[in-house]
Amino acid sequence: MKKGIIPAVTGLVAGVLASTVFFASTDVGPRSDANTSSTTKTNAEKVYVPFGEQDEYYLFASGGHSGQMFIYGVPSMRHIRTVPVFSQDSATGWGWSKESLELLGDYTWGDLHHPAFSETNGDYDGKWMFATDVANSRAAVMDLKTFTVKDIIEVPNTSGPHCAMFVTENTEYMFLPTRFSVPLGSAYASLDEYSSKYYGVMSAVQFDEEKEKLSIAWQVALPPWSYDLSDAGKGPSHGWAVVTTYNTEEATTNLEINASQADRDFIVLFNWKELEKMVAEGQYEEVNGQKIIFPSKHKGGIYLVPVAKSPHGVDVTPDGTRFIASGKLAPALTVFSFEKAFKAIENQEFSGEKYGIPILNYESVMEREVNPENALGPLHTQFDDKGMAYTTMFISSEIVKWDPNTGETLDRVPVQYSPGHSVAAEGDTVSPDGKYIVALNKIAKDSYLSVGPSHPESMQLIDLSGPKMEVIQSAPVNPEPHYAQMIKADKIKTIEVYDKDPNNPYAVYSQDQTRIERKGNEVHVYGIAMRSKFIFDAKAKRPDVIEVNEGDKVFVHLTNIDFDEDITHGFAINQYNLNIEVQPGQTSTVEFTANKAGTYPLYCTNFCSALHQEMSGYLLVKPKN
């Protein structure tokens, strides 16, 4: 590919070509940015956010196996911040501070796939962001007042909650069905016993806003298949959730071939209101401390809908009337009707069952199959303010706009290249904004300056306001933006500084409270950081020095008493592999064993004032003998 294909398409070349047969003959080709009137903004103007002004939307992109979340501004597509979630991040001390280590445990990385905002009445409320870790079966919640993670839990009995997070209309639940099937509790069982001993598990996770804690309400032991993507019902389908499956062949090796044999896999329909009721009535078994529903014994909450083989995404329309499955191996999308599904359940229009779960008649639930011409590899669908659907086509590298009411293809735009998900402005709410959609492309090829054999992924901003979709901006992104969320910027209300916390036993807010206390071989430092010094013990000869004995267990509790926005201090100890940060007003703890005798400078890692270089001291570790 030639360098600069994007500017070439949207710039001069397109202008020259705009009136030629190439554009006249097809509505599939690249777009021109030739303005239809002199009052229309150019593409450059549409994405330009002058200094001092701010973007209209936040974009939260999943960081995949970086374990982080990337925050961008839209329409500028400027990268604003990386927030560590499941992985260590020395820039913020995540994975070094005691508070973060308590949440991360022994894991140092994660694979973050689908971020999701908390919702109130089906609308993003701007309060919380949830995410899951496919690698280590964890769920996390980020506080949007501070853009920091408040809780992480490991979900027992499961492995690889890829289908999450998709939250229900009032954040009642987040459902976490798993990509991998394992024996409950990851116990050993031969793969010859796959069909009888392995389960895919769907976990219903809840969030307590007051306590800022996640918990597992109940789980469902599903057949030993792979579960891919899910979505929660809305409006008329409130109380329901949908999940795609693949490998219903139950292949245990060489999945590339063996998991694509059958013509049909399934969408699992969950009646979570019913499942909730079953749990309340005691219809579950307790396994490894969790309440697990076994659909073969506890009937009536789960149904299967046949769908073209190996579907990937399944998306509920904003009005909650339909769910749309994307067949990654078939060129087809299938539109299903919730109303038809409810009727089929009522009339018991079943074509069989698997593991005791009834299979609904395909024809009873299916509304239409949609095959946009030459479009290949549909993966995920988003929606605009008029209910129109936008589906990413991985293989033919484009986004297809189509009408779920008729199946008619309305528009197509090429993206560079191989989009996985796309994300629409307020896309998962009951009322998407319809202004922008961002294609999350797996392959950028030569779109950006080369950084060697591995190229960045790419996010492309598409303007939906004109008669045709138009790519108007492009930004490189670290691997791997599996999914993203786009929210109106004014919905998020961040704090400027942390409030004083009179209940925090480790916080000190004035110099005369600073002290170093010894209990046996435990040393607790109650210190402060301020422009431009550390004070660990104001009464000491050298207040900015910590002296301990070799082998001591040391706790440094550090409070930043600069109650000024943006005055963050860092705290690093040379050669001790330690660095934390304290934001304005925040108290954080770092714990370590002084197992190396010697002299180690400590210093502030965040450039905080003209005398930042002077913000240093020493850790002196006296040798044992």
**Which parts of this chain interact with ligand CUK (CB under 6 A)?**
113-114, 162, 229, 312, 379-380, 420-421, 482-483
Number of residues forming the site for ligand CUA (CB under 6 A) = 8
Describe the chain by its helix, strand, coil percentages, rounded to 5: 10, 40, 45
Residue 312 binding result from ligand CUK, ligand CUA, none, given CB thresholds of 5 to 8 Å by partner type: ligand CUK
Residues numbered 534 to 593 that lie near ligand CUA (CB under 6 A) are 569
Closest CB to ligand CUK among residues 439, 556? 439
Residue 615 binding result from ligand CUK, ligand CUA, none, given CB thresholds of 5 to 8 Å by partner type: ligand CUA
CA distances (Å), origin 208, targets 216, 279, 289, 509, 517: 11, 19, 19, 30, 36
Closest CB to ligand CUK among residues 333, 379? 379
SS3 338: helix
CA distances (Å), origin 85, targets 115, 132, 536: 11, 9, 30
Residue 113 binding result from ligand CUK, ligand CUA, none, given CB thresholds of 5 to 8 Å by partner type: ligand CUK
Contact map string, positions 474 to 513, toward ligand CUA, x by CB under 6 A: ----------------------------------------
Q: Say if residues 474 and 463 touch (Cβ distance below 8 Å).
A: no
Comparing C-alpha atoms, which of 29, 38, 37 is closest to residue 8?
A: 29
Reported in sequence order, the residue ranges of 147-259 that DSSP labels E, i.e. its strands, are 148-154, 174-177, 200-208, 213-222, 226-232, 240-246
Q: What is the DSSP letter of 541?
A: S
The CA-based angle 576-579-585, given to 5 degrees, is 140
Q: Among 95-103, 205-213, 271-279, 600-608, which window interacts with ligand CUA (CB under 6 A)?
A: 600-608
Residue 65 binding result from ligand CUK, ligand CUA, none, given CB thresholds of 5 to 8 Å by partner type: none
CB of 618 to ligand CUA, least distance (A): 16
Residue 604 binding result from ligand CUA, ligand CUK, none, given CB thresholds of 5 to 8 Å by partner type: ligand CUA
Comparing C-alpha atoms, which of 238, 227, 228 is closest to residue 167?
A: 238
SS3 189: coil
Which residue in 459, 608, 619, 621 binds ligand CUA (CB under 6 A)? 608
CB of 608 to ligand CUA, least distance (A): 3
CB of 312 to ligand CUK, least distance (A): 5
CB of 420 to ligand CUK, least distance (A): 3
Query: What phi and psi values does residue 529 have, to the nearest 5 degrees?
Result: -120, 130
The residue count for the chain: 625
CB of 111 to ligand CUA, least distance (A): 34
Residue 420 binding result from ligand CUK, ligand CUA, none, given CB thresholds of 5 to 8 Å by partner type: ligand CUK
CB of 130 to ligand CUA, least distance (A): 33
CB of 331 to ligand CUA, least distance (A): 57
Q: Does the footprint of ligand CUA cover residue 220 (CB under 6 A)?
A: no
Amino acid at 366: M
Q: Say if residues 324 and 338 touch (Cβ distance below 8 Å).
A: no
Q: Say if residues 247 and 224 touch (Cβ distance below 8 Å).
A: no
Comparing C-alpha atoms, which of 492, 488, 491, 494 is closest to residue 146?
A: 494
CB of 621 to ligand CUA, least distance (A): 23
Closest CB to ligand CUA among residues 22, 607? 607
Residue 435 binding result from ligand CUK, ligand CUA, none, given CB thresholds of 5 to 8 Å by partner type: none
Rounded CA separation 181/162 (Å): 12
Helix (H) or strand (E) holding 560: strand 553-560
Closest CB to ligand CUK among residues 46, 442? 442
Q: Among 37-45, 65-73, 578-586, 601-609, which window interacts with ligand CUA (CB under 6 A)?
A: 601-609
Q: Does the footprint of ligand CUA cover residue 607 (CB under 6 A)?
A: yes
Rounded CA separation 316/308 (Å): 17
CA distances (Å), origin 489, targets 68, 106, 125, 165, 426: 20, 35, 11, 21, 11
Q: Among 52-60, 373-381, 424-432, 599-607, which window interacts with ligand CUA (CB under 6 A)?
A: 599-607
CB of 594 to ligand CUA, least distance (A): 23
CB of 399 to ligand CUK, least distance (A): 13
Q: Say if residues 248 and 274 touch (Cβ distance below 8 Å).
A: no
Q: Which residue has the tokens 């001993």?
A: 197
Comparing C-alpha atoms, which of 27, 80, 126 is closest to residue 486?
A: 126
Q: Does the footprint of ligand CUA cover residue 615 (CB under 6 A)?
A: yes
Residue 162 binding result from ligand CUK, ligand CUA, none, given CB thresholds of 5 to 8 Å by partner type: ligand CUK
Residue 421 binding result from ligand CUA, ligand CUK, none, given CB thresholds of 5 to 8 Å by partner type: ligand CUK
Which residue in 606, 617, 619, 621 binds ligand CUA (CB under 6 A)? 606
CB of 228 to ligand CUK, least distance (A): 8
Comparing C-alpha atoms, which of 315, 501, 448 is closest to residue 392?
A: 315
Position of minimal CB gap to ligand CUK: 420
Which residue in 222, 293, 423, 604 binds ligand CUA (CB under 6 A)? 604
CB count in 10 Å sphere of residue 121: 10
CB of 534 to ligand CUA, least distance (A): 8
Q: Among 44-52, 374-382, 386-394, 602-610, which window interacts with ligand CUA (CB under 6 A)?
A: 602-610
Secondary structure (DSSP) of 258-294: HTT-SSEEEEEEEEHHHHHHHHHTT-SEEETTEEEE-
CB of 572 to ligand CUA, least distance (A): 10
Q: Say if residues 244 and 175 touch (Cβ distance below 8 Å).
A: no
Which residue in 34, 612, 618, 622 binds ligand CUA (CB under 6 A)? 612
CB of 251 to ligand CUA, least distance (A): 56
Closest CB to ligand CUA among residues 90, 371? 90
Which residues have C-beta within 8 Å of that of residue 348, sequence separation ≥ 6? Answer: 358
Closest CB to ligand CUA among residues 94, 534? 534
Residue 606 binding result from ligand CUA, ligand CUK, none, given CB thresholds of 5 to 8 Å by partner type: ligand CUA
Comparing C-alpha atoms, which of 164, 70, 76 is closest to residue 116?
A: 164
> Could you list the residues that contact ligand CUA (CB under 6 A)?
532, 569, 604, 606-608, 612, 615
